[in-house]
Amino acid sequence: MIKIYSGSDVDKKVREITSQEMFFDRKKEEQVREIVDDVRENGDAAVIKYTKKFDGVAMKADEMKVTSKEINDAYKAVNDDYLRALKTAVKNITSYHKRQKADEWFETLPDDVILGMRNVPIDRVGVYVPGGTAIYPSSVLMNVIPARVAEVREIVMVTPPGKGGKCDPHVLVAAAEVGVGNIIKVGGCQAIAALAFGTESIPRVDKIVGPGNIYVTLAKKMVYGQVGIDKLAGPSDILIIADEDSEAEYIAADMLSQAEHDPDSTAILISTSMPVAKEVLKEISKQITKIKRSKIARASMDKNGCIFVVEGLKKAVEISNKLAPEHLEILSSPPQNLLEKIRNAGAVFLGPHSPVVVGDYLAGPNHVLPTSGSARFSSPLSVYDFIKKQSIVGYTKPALRSIIQDIRIFADVEGLDAHARSAEIRFKS
């Protein structure tokens, strides 16, 4: 199932992993392009057509929006324990994201020059919440709450309809709890296209956030520029750094928790102990038979699971920074000793009692994280993703006069005479 790498084989396997690119099948791209173009040209009619084709749900345009009755029915369908856990998650996630609000600043320089930076929330955001093989109320919270904290004016949520044209009640209740008033029962790349271009029933948004399958990701890639997007999310991944005192049982469970997402998910262990590595292999084989999505997890482990045994934690950190994992668990003791050396990771989980699942649901930090090594250059979804920055410049006439010669120098070098004239014309008399 999983191979253990040691010695020179470790560096060879790391190079193999880091050289992989996010592969988009050309045939899938063509299929998505056809759907995106159709929705752009034909609006609701195309959305309805593809919803029937892919989700098996026939609906009219005025049936796409979730009604208040459906929300009320959803509350009746979920139990009190879920609602309590949901409210706890909302509280924690909101509290964490409220700390991210950046201050605006302005300053006055000589000659009464004003410079500054403003924060302006995005007007309208589209949130995609996946359906299909699993339900994700946690995705509702993680995508909507930072937008709310950023004071986005309007949020439009899209999610695939299930059997009978209904959405999962847990997802609807989550949306209601965070104040989403416009929920559309549409999924797939047709939903992304509808949000990007607008239809008769679905408003055009300024930015689209939220994870999805390969078709959704391709659609987001295609409409980027027409709208903003959060990121191109690949399959989930986890990397665990462990020493000789780490619990093999915990490690196996945490690797499987990410492997169950998708057959293309990645689970990697870097250990300083060969006995721990071998014990983890045994635990994976034992535990994988006990989980509901064992077929998916097994496919993931067979394809992308691996264990590296290295001589010391310094080497473990070096490999981790090269792989730039979405989720990084540090189980070596004490974990804080390695934290300042970690440069590339979406989220870091410290110690044996901080499994990724805590961050997935309740801790507060966002679980929409950079995947496929993109933690080298990108960050978790945050309030900042829903705020535009505006730079402010205010010059007085004396201030402009003091730099007009330098403006002319730059304009002459760049061959842009009208640039210089736009400043000089103010002093022609």
User: Do 415 and 304 share a structural domain?
Assistant: no
| Tokens at 82, concatenated | 């879920």
Residue 390, in any domain of the structure: no
373: left (phi over 0), alpha (psi -120 to 50) or beta: left
pLDDT digits (tens, 9 = 90+) for 295-348: 999 999 999 999 999 999 999 999 999 999 999 999 999 999 999 999 999 999
Burial class (CB in 10 A: 0-12, 13-18, 19+), 395: middle
Contacts by residues 357-366 (CB-CB < 8 Å, ≥ 24 positions apart) = 357/257, 359/327, 360/138, 361/85, 361/89, 361/138, 362/85, 362/88, 362/89, 362/92, 363/92, 363/96, 364/92, 364/93, 364/95, 364/96, 364/97, 365/96, 366/93, 366/96, 366/97, 366/142, 366/146
Residue among 97, 326, 329, 367 flagged as catalytic: 326
With the C-alpha atoms ordered 178, 180, 186, 192, is the resulting torsion angle positive or negative?
negative
User: Which domain does 77 fall in, by range?
Assistant: 26-103+121-229
Q: How confident is the chain (429 residues) per 10-residue block, as mean pLDDT? A: 91 91 78 97 97 93 96 97 98 97 91 96 97 85 98 97 91 98 96 98 97 92 96 92 97 96 94 97 96 95 96 96 97 95 97 96 96 94 96 97 96 97 92
Kindly report the CATH number assigned to the domain that includes residue 241. 3.40.50.1980
Domain count, the chain: 3
- Radius of gyration of the chain from its Cα atoms, rounded to whole angstroms: 25
In the annotation, is 107 catalytic? no
Residue among 97, 170, 327, 367 flagged as catalytic: 327
Boundary residue ending a domain (229, 262, 286): 229
Beta bridge partners of 240: 269, 329
Q: Which amino acid is at 286?
A: K
pTM of the model: 0.93
What does the alpha-carbon distance between residue 382 and residue 347 come to, in Å, rounded to a whole number?
13
Residue 381, in any domain of the structure: no
